[in-house]
């Protein structure tokens, strides 16, 4: 494909996407619109509508009232509101009215029809005419537009999955990737459909793509994966082997599964005679309240740490996105400093810690907090690197000099991003170096090249990061976890974190660790065999 042709496609997609969004999405979701006479009239009509309703009269009545709906967008809005209310009988009747009215359907109406059939298929079997509409939409839309915008692609993808046309979905995923990344739902729906059609090899390949594009699996994909295992295998030993494979995937990707998935895992393991309980993990010791076993700290192996360290070195050498605002001169000064002074026991993110006093806190307040934190590690006879910015050198020089006497110190230019410096300093220093920062480092984790590196970084962070929190007039220092908060297998079974529905975070400090109160404890009974 030529550059000119690609440019035309992207321009075409951009223009068409904007038109579609302006005519439908914005109109439907704008709070002001929801208060118009038109929307209120539709809401009232939906509540009393029947399959034999006079849809022409409804539309005419709506269009006579005040609002932003017109002939081009009204069909899409009516359908969307019916689907949202799960008024499927009326929605199917309205869909039939649209398809037999001899009028050309707008793109918004087509998308709404596709969404209707997808949502309806979750509970009921689609009719042959409904399946035919989905297939004919795929053909006609590509014939007319050649390349589809992401909104239309996703609507069509979900509808095609409802009729198990997974091969056509692969082209749609490629189209979405031209200008963005498919949604979590798009990937998981395709993956679930592949398992539903017994295409495990293809599903596993798609899972890898989904994870690399930072799209963890949703419940539907896990559900169909489990159904596939129980459909294909009848021997409990074999079923266990492949349930372990699923849990291995969850562990490898440091995934916290939805609560719905946790409940289905519970049912699946109970079906092969395992004992499964919802439980809590004691945060400071990593002990399960159900079985009293202690979870392991899954430290990075020498090979894994070397892989992470080499990636950091490569980014330093090429000056890539890890150091977006770093000059070559400063980078050279920094690398030479690390080579001369490393290894360290502790790398302090000085500015981040100091601002625990708040932006309204004075210089002396900040330095007192920094001194308290540093003293904690000095008393443990740790070799400390203090990393800050040059403007800190204008703070109370007496107090600052007292700090610098007990540490190695490096101050970056004020325009530099200091977070990457302390991450790089710690990792380049070696596998035994810890960091101290309040930052969860999510943005820097996402800059790594692939999902495997991101997971290595996450495990390294859990193993090595000390957190600092405000508590009245002094900082509270939280040591790194003694266990790794991911799905773990031991000689007796699995422990697996899940995300509780409607979990309250009120009063909780976000320290980047999965909720210790939402775990599954899955244990084999004496007669069960963990590994085949």
pLDDT at 4 over 90: no
Residue 80's Cβ-count burial label (10 Å; 0-12, 13-18, 19+) is buried
pLDDT tens-digit series, residues 466-496: 999 887 767 889 999 899 999 999 988 999 9
Residue that wins the pLDDT comparison between 432 and 316: 432
CA dist., res. 531 & res. 91, Å (int): 50
Residue 204 has what pLDDT?
A: 97
Q: How far is CA 460 from CA 6, 423, 447, 480, 490, in A?
A: 41, 11, 15, 10, 21
- Sheet-wide strand order for 465-471: 408-412, 384-389, 346-349, 434-436, 465-471, 474-478
At 324, the pLDDT band (50, 70, 90 cuts) reads: very low
Residue 421 has what pLDDT?
A: 84
Residue 292 has what pLDDT?
A: 94
At 444, the pLDDT band (50, 70, 90 cuts) reads: low
Q: Look at 63-77, 186-200, 263-277 and tell me which has the smallest mean pLDDT.
A: 63-77
Three-state DSSP state, 257:
strand
Residue 330 has what pLDDT?
A: 84
**CA 421-299-262 angle, 5° bins:** 105
Contacts of 400 (CB under 8 A, 6+ apart): 367, 392, 393
Average of per-residue pLDDT across 461-469:
92
Residue 381 has what pLDDT?
A: 95
pLDDT at 62 over 60: yes
At 443, the pLDDT band (50, 70, 90 cuts) reads: low
Contact assessment for residue 67 and residue 36, using Cβ atoms and an 8 Å cutoff: yes
Residue 272 has what pLDDT?
A: 96
The overall average pLDDT reported for the chain is 86
% of the chain with per-residue pLDDT over 90:
60
Residue 35 has what pLDDT?
A: 52
pLDDT tens-digit series, residues 220-230: 999 999 999 99
- Output b/e per residue, 153-189; b: 16+ Cβ within 10 A: bbbbbbbbbbbebbebbeebbebbeeeeebbbebbbb
Residue 265 has what pLDDT?
A: 98
Pick the CATH number of 302-478 from 3.40.50.720, 3.40.50.11980, 3.30.43.10, 3.20.10.10: 3.40.50.11980
At 450, the pLDDT band (50, 70, 90 cuts) reads: confident
pLDDT tens-digit series, residues 134-157: 999 999 999 999 889 999 999 999
DSSP 51: T
Residue 320 has what pLDDT?
A: 52
CA dist., res. 360 & res. 363, Å (int): 9
CA dist., res. 116 & res. 82, Å (int): 9
- Tell whether pTM > 0.85: no
Structure-token match 């939805």, residue found: 258
Q: Measuring CA to CA, which residue among 361, 386, 376, 347 is closest to residue 475?
A: 376
Residue that wins the pLDDT comparison between 68 and 165: 165
CA dist., res. 217 & res. 186, Å (int): 10
CA dist., res. 271 & res. 281, Å (int): 25
pLDDT at 531 over 80: no
Residue that wins the pLDDT comparison between 501 and 532: 501
Tokens of 186: 């798009």
Residue 262 has what pLDDT?
A: 98
450 phi and psi, to 5 degrees?
A: -145, 175
pLDDT tens-digit series, residues 192-210: 999 999 999 999 999 999 9
Average of per-residue pLDDT across 93-99:
93
Residue that wins the pLDDT comparison between 41 and 249: 249
Average of per-residue pLDDT across 388-406:
90
Q: So where are the chain's domains?
A: 3-180, 233-297+485-524, 302-478
């Amino acid at each position: 494909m030529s550059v000119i042709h690609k440019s035309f496609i992207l321009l075409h997609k951009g223009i068409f996407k904007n038109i579609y969004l302006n005519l439908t999405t914005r109109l439907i979701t704008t709070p002001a619109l929801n208060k118009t006479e038109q929307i209120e009239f539709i809401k009232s009509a939906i509540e009393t509508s029947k399959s034999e309703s006079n849809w022409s009269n409804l539309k005419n009545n709506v269009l006579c009232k005040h609002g932003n709906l017109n002939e081009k967008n009204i069909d899409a809005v009516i359908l969307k509101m019916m689907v949202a209310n799960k008024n499927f009988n009326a929605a199917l009747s309205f869909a039939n009215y649209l398809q037999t009215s001899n009028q050309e359907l707008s793109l918004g109406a087509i998308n709404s029809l596709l969404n209707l059939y997808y949502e309806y298929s979750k509970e009921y079997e689609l009719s042959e005419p409904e399946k035919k509409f989905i297939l004919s939409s795929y053909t006609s839309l590509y014939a007319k537009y050649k390349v589809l915008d992401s909104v239309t692609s996703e609507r069509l993808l979900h509808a095609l999955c409802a009729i198990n046309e997974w091969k056509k979905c692969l082209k749609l995923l490629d189209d979405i990737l031209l200008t963005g990344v498919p949604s979590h739902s798009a990937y998981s729906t395709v993956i679930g459909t592949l398992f539903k059609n017994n295409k495990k090899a293809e599903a596993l390949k798609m899972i890898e793509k989904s994870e690399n594009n930072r799209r963890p699996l949703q419940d539907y994909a896990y559900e169909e994966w489990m159904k596939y295992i129980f459909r294909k295998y009848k021997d409990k030993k074999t079923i266990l082997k492949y349930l372990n494979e699923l849990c291995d995937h969850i562990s490898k990707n440091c995934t916290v599964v939805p609560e719905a998935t946790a409940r289905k895992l519970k049912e699946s393991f109970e079906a092969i005679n395992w004992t499964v309980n919802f439980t809590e993990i004691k945060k400071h010791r990593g002990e399960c309240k159900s079985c009293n076993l202690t979870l392991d700290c899954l430290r990075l192996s020498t090979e894994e740490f070397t892989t992470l360290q080499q990636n950091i070195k490569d980014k330093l050498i090429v000056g890539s996105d890890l150091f977006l605002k770093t000059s070559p001169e400063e980078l050279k000064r920094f690398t030479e400093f690390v080579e001369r002074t490393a290894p360290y026991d502790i790398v302090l993110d000085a500015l981040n810690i100091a601002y625990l006093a708040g932006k309204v806190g004075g210089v002396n307040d900040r330095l007192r907090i920094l001194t308290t934190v540093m003293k904690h590690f000095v008393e443990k006879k740790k070799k400390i690197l203090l990393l800050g910015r040059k403007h800190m050198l204008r703070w109370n020089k007496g107090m600052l000099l007292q700090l610098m006497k007990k540490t190695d110190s490096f101050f970056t230019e004020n325009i530099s991003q200091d977070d990457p410096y302390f991450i790089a300093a710690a990792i380049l220093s070696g596998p035994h170096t810890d960091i101290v920062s309040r930052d969860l480092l999510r943005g820097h984790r996402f800059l790594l090249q692939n999902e495997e590196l991101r997971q290595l970084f996450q495990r390294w962070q859990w193993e090595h990061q000390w957190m600092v929190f405000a508590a009245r007039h002094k900082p509270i220092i939280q040591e790194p976890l003694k266990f790794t908060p991911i799905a773990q297998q031991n000689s007796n079974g699995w422990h697996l974190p899940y995300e509780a529905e409607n979990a309250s975070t009120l009063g909780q400090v976000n320290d980047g660790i999965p909720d210790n109160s939402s775990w599954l404890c899955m244990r084999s009974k004496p007669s069960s065999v963990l590994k085949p």
